[in-house]
Structure 1
């Protein structure tokens, strides 16, 4: 029995962004950041950047029928073995299947939400996982952060090299372990950017659109994404995100100008 099936009660999906339920072709669930430990419920005003990100994805994927929901957690905290954010993410996928039927799902998370996306990525309805500046425990933690659940999914991690809050080396190390069991893992480094990935926000959003539409709808990946997925480690796990990425890419249909 999945985590979400037993512990997801009280989580909820935010308002749908995108087309109507009847025309849904795929769903991206946006998982906001959180804290390592907290029993507080998220503020109604929290997750503003996640909502903006979801709106952008839904707008770019409207032609394909992409719907975006931001997941509202029960608590702000991961809270140790309870892994609240991960169980809420699994519940959100279950709820997505209940609402929309057999549609492909992408989990896209920020910070602690990135960890939740990676942990919940084994849900049968999940096609892909996007983790932006994920918070991860040290590689010598016991038990180690699992990666076997990511087999069969396409996985992208994006991390700023100047992130002083969530160590980018930890996401590289996890990606390297995941790549051993799943060749469809890549990781992009945003050089000189910090935790919020604000300096290259447009490039990060364009990369996210390319990945989400490619994994859910089969649109053609941009060459850097193809190269990152195909390259052996460490090359495909330290792929630099070029300044201006997305210029000349029509995200709606995957074609080039």
Structure 2
């Protein structure tokens, strides 16, 4: 028996099992693909994250741009983490993102997924780059660590960083781009001249570049351009 589309949407966006992590966004009745947007945070911190936190609000324009650029049958979701920090071996935001992917796969098995993450969220999507069903990753001003994974063959990656970022290191992003390129990854390295960590300078360029990348990745999952 087919589950009514409204019931599927309620199940996907329900916070049940997230322990404080939540998903919000646009889910059409029968999505052909999905974009998951992951916000930033801090190296450490167990204070509760709310939807009003600046790091969370910062990603709303990206979700809106992706929704505008993609066709109406693409779901666009934002993830809100439980707590603010990565917190060492607890890897709290990674745990939350894995919960989100599990929920997505339960409700929409096999759906192609594009991941977009900023700062600490960039580290999250780089950890999840080789996950099944992930067909594109965009890491924005990412926190680059030694745990970054390479996407599966044919999966495109966008690494984007502002040249004036003083929070995360643009040079580390450039180094990862070189590593990806040497490994045969379909990688695009975009340096925003004068761009800052908050992505406020040249905001339109950030939003448009990400929306175009996600639209193209979801239009032809698993195929190189």
Structure 1 length as normaliser, TM-score? 0.73
Q: C-alpha distance in 2, partners of 1:179/1:92?
A: 29
Cα deviation, 1:196-217, whole Å, max 9, x if unaligned, reads: 2222111221111111011111
Cα deviation, 1:19-59, whole Å, max 9, x if unaligned, reads: 52x32111111100111011112123121121232122112
In structure 2, the CA distance between the partners of 1:123 and 1:131, relative to structure 1 (3 Å rule), is same
Per the TM alignment, residue 9 of structure 1 is displaced from its structure 2 partner at its CA by 4.4
Counterpart for residue 75 of structure 1? 83
Structure 2 length as normaliser, TM-score? 0.83
Q: C-alpha distance in 1, partners of 2:129/2:24?
A: 22
Q: C-alpha distance in 2, partners of 1:176/1:87?
A: 28
Consecutive unaligned residues of structure 2, counting only runs of 5 or more, are: 1-16
Tell me which of the two structures has the higher relative contact order, counting C-alpha pairs closer than 8 angstroms and 6 or more residues apart: 2
Counterpart for residue 36 of structure 2? 29
| Alignment RMSD | 1.9
Per the TM alignment, residue 92 of structure 1 is displaced from its structure 2 partner at its CA by 1.2
SS in 2 for 1:23: coil
Q: In 2, are the aligned partners of 1:11 and 1:71 still within 8 Å (CA)?
A: no
1:98 and 2:100 aligned:
no
SS in 2 for 1:155: strand
Q: In 1, are the aligned partners of 2:21 and 2:79 still within 8 Å (CA)?
A: yes
In structure 2, the CA distance between the partners of 1:84 and 1:172, relative to structure 1 (3 Å rule), is same
Q: In 2, are the aligned partners of 1:39 and 1:76 still within 8 Å (CA)?
A: yes
In structure 2, the CA distance between the partners of 1:71 and 1:157, relative to structure 1 (3 Å rule), is same
Q: C-alpha distance in 1, partners of 2:181/2:99?
A: 26
Counterpart for residue 59 of structure 1? 68
Per the TM alignment, residue 67 of structure 1 is displaced from its structure 2 partner at its CA by 1.2
